[in-house]
Amino acid sequence: MPIFESEILETIRMVEMETLDIRAVTLGVSLRGCAHPDVGRAAENVRKRIVERGGRLVEVVDAIEADYGIPVADRRVSVTPIAIVAESSETEDYTPFAQAMDAAAVELGVDFIGGFSALVEQGMSTGDRRLFASLPAAISATERVCSSLNVATTRVGINMTAVAWVGEIMKDLAAKTADRGGVGCAKLVVFCNAPSGNPFMAGSFHGIAEGDCIVNCGVSGPGVVRRAVELLGADASLDAVAECVKRIAFKITRMGELIGREAASRLGVEFGVVDLSLAPTPTPGDSVAAILELMGVGRAGGHGTTAALAMLTDAVKKGGAMASSHVGGLSGAFIPVSEDAGMIAAARDGTISIDKLEAMTSVCSVGMDMIAVPGDTPAATLAAIVADECAIGMMNNKTTACRLIPVPGMVAGDLVEFGGLLGSAPVMPVHPSDPGVFVQRGGRMPAPIHSLRN
């Protein structure tokens, strides 16, 4: 069937003027089999395995980009959670594993590598405890390594002992990277119901149920959706808006599937999932907040924002699910504060608060992402924010996550610059009440009942 000129021009406009791109092609590499009692040998096994499996990643993705004429923003690698791989090694300090991952990332030419991770929703093994203890030093000693911790699921509840520890880790990590605005915390994501096929950093890791090697593809396109909603005008009903978003999501996901499958085929590995997430960037127009504002809620964060975001997330999922046989990861809409020009503006003028963000995360695809808080925020308060977010994920059977940055030396109202895709974030105030006793109780919050729903 011939392709119509109008269709060609629509695609060209999306790519050229509305910043549509393939956001990430992420190669998942299993590190099972790399364990060794000697930490030096184990770390070298890790480095070698990543380099061997990912050696052609950048070359192949560059070639696909050039063959198809579609921009691919990032090439990345994720690995099996290091807490599992490192547990056999006789060492308390897992920094050598992070350094091995960092060296492999430099060798491959990828900007981030994910998987300095632990899955501790039910309890912590020796390897998990060592990873937690090593985390601030390991992440601050490396440039490209990202970490994620799964501390809760709907099926088993919330590991509050781990959550309390996470608060301490965030404080320590911020202090260790104080000269760069505490940017170390931007490389740590704390999850409830973490998906393993997520190609987006910093929360990407290679799931323990995955095969040896897999390609996952992340597609974005808030700019395209924003423009489509703008063209509909203020008179269109919400049915029309939802339908329009769904159609756009379908088209974008199809492109992600094409590129992802091509990358998998050229690399000779399995194709995993397409993750269609409206992931904003600081580029003007590439903003999820702008979509919500065009839907008519006034400033993002105002009343109606949660409802608008719910519809947007759902329409994106519906369009994406139709377009690919394997949609996964985080698929939906991201609302990172520092990476979205509209969110930054709303946070600066006080329309959006940490409480409203928390409410929005009950319907967005991830959670409280890239939120800068005052440097003197106590560890217990950070842990309590994480606990709140996990509770939303656990009760609603969805992925939620926290990426909080207690910026050393800064107070509410200041602006911290991270640079690049991480953008800049206004420091948002947190509630002064002390949740110390609640957090320090520790233990595991039981899993919820899912009958008797109301």
Partner 1 sequence: MSRLVITREDVLALARGARLAAPPGAIVTERALETAREAGVEIIIEGGAPPPGGGSPGGGGSPLPAPAAEPAPPTAPEQETPQPATESTCRLIVTAFGRNRPRIMAELTGAIEERHGDIQEISQRVQEGWFHLVMLVDVPAGSSVVQEFRRALECLSSEDDYRVMVQHERVFERMHRI
Of residues 77 through 136, those in contact with partner 1 by CB under 8 A are: 106-109
The per-residue DSSP string of 72-130 comes to EEEEEEEES-HHHHHTTSS-S--HHHHHHHHHHHHHHT-S-EE---EE-SS---HHHHH
The per-residue DSSP string of 26-37 comes to EEEE--TT---S
How many Cα atoms occupy the beta-carbon half-sphere of 53 within 13 Å?
25
Q: Where are the beta strands (DSSP E) in 117-220?
A: 118-119, 145-153, 157-159, 188-192, 213-219
Between 98 and 255, name the residue whose CB sits nearer to partner 1. 255
CB 157 within 8 A of CB 444: yes
Minimum CB–partner distance for residue 260 and partner 1 (Å): 11
Report how many residues bind partner 1 under the rule CB under 8 A.
42
Query: b/e map of 109-137 (b: 16 or more CB within 10 Å)?
Result: ebbbbbbbbbbbbeebeebbbbbbebbbb
Residue 266 makes contact with partner 1 by CB under 8 A: yes
Minimum CB–partner distance for residue 55 and partner 1 (Å): 3
- The residue with tokens 């070698």 is 48
From CA 26, how far away is CA 4, in angstroms rounded? 33
Q: Coil, strand or helix: which one is 181?
A: coil
Between 2 and 233, name the residue whose CB sits nearer to partner 1. 2
Q: Which stretch binds partner 1 (CB under 8 A): 9-17, 140-148, 230-238, 388-396?
A: 9-17
Minimum CB–partner distance for residue 145 and partner 1 (Å): 17
From CA 358, how far away is CA 355, in angstroms rounded? 5
Tell me the per-residue interface mask from 40 to 79 with partner 1, x by CB under 8 A, - otherwise: --------x--xxx-xx-xxx-xxx-xxxxx---------
Between 15 and 395, name the residue whose CB sits nearer to partner 1. 15
Between 9 and 240, name the residue whose CB sits nearer to partner 1. 9
Q: How many residues can be counted in the chain?
A: 454
Q: Give 82's strand partners.
A: none
Between 180 and 251, name the residue whose CB sits nearer to partner 1. 251
Q: Select from 11, 88, 91, 283 the one that contacts partner 1 (CB under 8 A).
A: 11
Between 193 and 277, name the residue whose CB sits nearer to partner 1. 277
Minimum CB–partner distance for residue 18 and partner 1 (Å): 14
Minimum CB–partner distance for residue 22 and partner 1 (Å): 11
Cα angle, residue 361 at apex, residues 356 and 365 outer, rounded to 5°? 150
First to last CA, the chain: 50
- Sign of the dihedral defined by the CA atoms of residues 214, 134, 89, 153, in that order: negative
Minimum CB–partner distance for residue 329 and partner 1 (Å): 19
Spatial CA neighbour of 190 closest among 402, 439, 381: 402
Of residues 205 through 224, those in contact with partner 1 by CB under 8 A are: 212
Q: Select from 175, 178, 236, 258 the one that contacts partner 1 (CB under 8 A).
A: 258
Minimum CB–partner distance for residue 240 and partner 1 (Å): 20
Residue 270 makes contact with partner 1 by CB under 8 A: no
Q: Which stretch binds partner 1 (CB under 8 A): 8-16, 136-144, 172-180, 437-445?
A: 8-16
Amino acid at 254: R
Q: Select from 129, 254, 299, 326 the one that contacts partner 1 (CB under 8 A).
A: 254
Residues at the interface with partner 1 (CB under 8 A) = 1-5, 7-12, 15-16, 48, 51-53, 55-56, 58-60, 62-64, 66-70, 106-109, 212, 251, 254-255, 257-258, 266, 268
